[in-house]
Amino acid sequence: MNESMRVIYQTVLNRDPNQPEFHQAVEEVLESLGPVIESRPEYMPVVKSIVEPERIIQFRVPWYDDEGTLNVNRGFRIQMNGAIGPFKGGLRFHPSVNQSILKFLAFEQVFKNSLTGLPMGGGKGGSDFDPKGKSDAEVRRFCQSFMMELWRHIGADLDVPAGDIGVGGREIGYMFGMYRKLANEFTGVLTGKGMSYGGSLIRPEATGYGTVYFAREMLATKGKSLEGAKVAISGSGNVAQFALEKVLDLGGKPVTLSDSSGFIYDSSGIDREKLAFVMDLKNERRGRIKEYADTYGCEYTASSPEPNLNGLWGVDVDIALPCATQNEMNGEEAKMLVENGCIAVAEGANMPCTPEAIECFHENGLLFAPGKASNAGGVATSGLEMSQNSLRLNWSREEVDQRLEEIMVNIHKNTADTAKEFGMEGNYVAGANIAGFLKVAEAMEAQGLL
């Protein structure tokens, strides 16, 4: 990191010393921006400003469980940067949620949204509520209470949340219903909505599909493809399920899935029938991935108490798609992938690879796609949902998928070209950070750096 960036980074550390995830995300971006500031020193004030959220909202979320006991959770919305459009980014419901995690996600979102080419600023929010094991009625009461406060801070032209970990179609539905009642209006204030009330076809598929489109583009630069490739996928939620489906569409062979309890390794490949089982298991019955191994008689490994070292990345594969959560792959695990001959890694999740893992991929010449580029298909399609809501129109499945694919091809080209322009050919991390930054920086400067 160059000296001027280090001064800014030190300010971030001093201001919020207890936010390691946010520091990690900021450090990576500041490392990339050195060459930009050398050629455009006038952007220095932008960098100072971009690391500070425009606004943070924190609130109490009281809700009654089925026993009639009052529970109190914490709700947040981080409005990180609105220079190029309304704040946009998901809501996460997970017990680990805190300001550090949401600030890292909101910060990443600023660059990601810029890369899509659509007019969306960056934000993120959520709660430390754990939906696991809760009844449908409890989830509904929680979502309604959450929205009772959040509604006054969001709006179709102000801040448009979506889903993330623990927030899928069911939760978006409950929150949208409450917003509509409180605001007394029907607008596209949330994305990821159901098709009967303003949702977009392909939005559920978009993050996973987009990640695989990006991987396909990266592989093509080396004359390779997904055809016949063995693929490790982590997670078994929204992103993992549709990444797996697109891998199958493109002729690859997915062999792993996981949840927070463990992972399955199915050497015969996870085909469409098995994927349908996973979708029912995870989306309808809300069960554990172990049931897959019990049903299909494949290997199951329970998560080790050591974080990150559960062995999923020790499998012999050509391509890895981490699609679960942040820091789920460390340097040692990255080394195992390299030793097994893996040639490409595309992040479906946000920041799943630690800095050591990324360094290992770069040192060993693997193709590596950072989440802010490769998983941008989700928010891009949310942007398309906002457009359809404004137009009061629904586009067909083919039309949305085609736009998604075009956006992913463009993001790949833009990140690859930018990395080359700044002397870091093949480094998609630098390419994504710089390309995402330049558009936001121009807008912030033009608006007087408010």
Please list the active-site residues: 124
| By the rule CB under 6 A, 109 interacts with ligand NDP | no
What is the DSSP code (8-state) at residue 164? B
| By the rule CB under 6 A, 235 interacts with ligand NDP | yes
62: Cα separation from own chain's centroid:
28
Neighbours of 285 (CB within 10 A): 9
In sequence order, which residues have a C-beta less than 8 Å from that of residue 149 and are 6 or more positions away?
59, 60, 61, 75
The helix/strand/coil state of 311 is coil
Q: 125 or 237, CB closer to ligand NDP?
A: 237
Rounded to a whole number of angstroms, the minimum distance from the CB of residue 77 to ligand NDP is: 16
| By the rule CB under 6 A, 4 interacts with ligand NDP | no
Can you tell me which of 245, 259, 266, 401 binds ligand NDP, judged by CB under 6 A? 259
Report how far residue 376's alpha carbon sits from residue 448's, in angstroms, rounded to the nearest whole number: 28
| By the rule CB under 6 A, 254 interacts with ligand NDP | no
Tokens of 14: 């001093």
Window contacting ligand NDP (CB under 6 A); options: 40-48, 54-62, 262-270, 321-329: 321-329
The helix/strand/coil state of 249 is helix
Question: What pairs with residue 59 in β-bridges?
Answer: 75
| By the rule CB under 6 A, 161 interacts with ligand NDP | no
Report how far residue 86's alpha carbon sits from residue 160's, in angstroms, rounded to the nearest whole number: 7
Can you tell me which of 159, 164, 205, 401 binds ligand NDP, judged by CB under 6 A? 164
Report how far residue 77's alpha carbon sits from residue 102's, in angstroms, rounded to the nearest whole number: 8
411: Cα separation from own chain's centroid:
15
Tokens of 182: 């409180």
Can you tell me which of 118, 172, 190, 349 binds ligand NDP, judged by CB under 6 A? 349
Rounded to a whole number of angstroms, the minimum distance from the CB of residue 278 to ligand NDP is: 10
Residue nearest to ligand NDP (CB): 237
Residues present in the chain in total: 450
| By the rule CB under 6 A, 190 interacts with ligand NDP | no
Rounded to a whole number of angstroms, the minimum distance from the CB of residue 418 to ligand NDP is: 21
By rule CB under 6 A, what count of residues binds ligand NDP? Answer: 22
| By the rule CB under 6 A, 191 interacts with ligand NDP | no
Report how far residue 236's alpha carbon sits from residue 363's, in angstroms, rounded to the nearest whole number: 30
| By the rule CB under 6 A, 440 interacts with ligand NDP | no
- Determine whether 355 is exposed, middle or buried from the number of CB atoms within 10 Å of its CB (0-12, 13-18, 19+): middle
Window contacting ligand NDP (CB under 6 A); options: 54-62, 79-87, 178-186, 319-327: 319-327
| By the rule CB under 6 A, 345 interacts with ligand NDP | no
Q: 222 or 286, CB closer to ligand NDP?
A: 286
| By the rule CB under 6 A, 380 interacts with ligand NDP | no
Most distant CA atoms of the chain, gap in Å: 62
| By the rule CB under 6 A, 166 interacts with ligand NDP | yes
Q: Which residues bind ligand NDP (CB under 6 A)?
A: 163-166, 207, 235-240, 259-261, 323-325, 348-350, 375, 378
